[in-house]
Amino acid sequence: QQQQQQQQTLQQPRMPARAKEEETQQQPRERHQHQLGRVEPAEAEVPRLVGGNLTGCQLVGAVAIILNVHCARAGRVVPSKRGERPSPFHSPCEPELSIRDYLMQIRKLLRCSRECFVLALVYIDRLVERCPDIAISGLTVHRLLLTSVCLAAKFQDDKGEDNADYARAGGLSTKELNDLELLFLKRIDWKLHVSQKVYEWYRELACMVVSGA
């Protein structure tokens, strides 16, 4: 019954891609630099986003549920068996650590703000919409999460951690994370800004997941 409630919650209509694109186009194009594993925000100060009334643990749990649903839909079929070419985000095998535990580990070691986990969802959605060769599955979700949280934390929090810290927290080498970060940025056209409207849509989805859990 709990799984049925979560599935019903996640069957809410998705924000149309066109609406997302319009939101992005309304903002001036950000200028970022990818130097020494750091992403510099545009000249305009990034507005502080509000995480809502959810606790950090609740938000991590909601993000994990949302991504678990995506993974269940994708199944566990290896891309090469579907005739697809694995992307760099594909792990050789599915990690044993659950999505929730992986997020909790990242949150504990890096002390990311709650907003970062909402932004990570936005970034992952932007990536998979632009790249049909990348699906959210048990083979990709951990690397997608680490990379998107890394980008969100640099853009939103800017606490000074470098990629070695993020890589250590996520179980990758620094070079692997550097390569994934650059690929992620190129695939989303370096668009890290998220409007308040789009952010609130994803935050409300997380709230609905928590209330339905």
Instruction: Calculate the alpha carbon distances from 119 to 29, 151, 175, 192, 196 in Å.
Output: 18, 9, 23, 9, 11
User: Under DSSP, is residue 119 helix (H, G, I), strand (E, B) or coil?
Assistant: helix
Q: What is the pLDDT of residue 111?
A: 87
In angstroms, rounded to a whole number, what is the distance separating the alpha carbons of residues 32 and 35? 9
Q: What is the pLDDT of residue 174?
A: 96
In angstroms, rounded to a whole number, what is the distance separating the alpha carbons of residues 5 and 172? 35
Q: What is the pLDDT of residue 129?
A: 94
Q: What is the pLDDT of residue 54?
A: 83
Residues of the chain with pLDDT under 50: 2, 8-9, 11-19, 21-51, 83
**Contact criterion met (CB below 8 Å) for 202 and 208:** no
Q: What is the pLDDT of residue 37?
A: 39
User: Under DSSP, is residue 47 helix (H, G, I), strand (E, B) or coil?
Assistant: coil
Q: What is the pLDDT of residue 38?
A: 38
Q: What is the pLDDT of residue 201?
A: 94
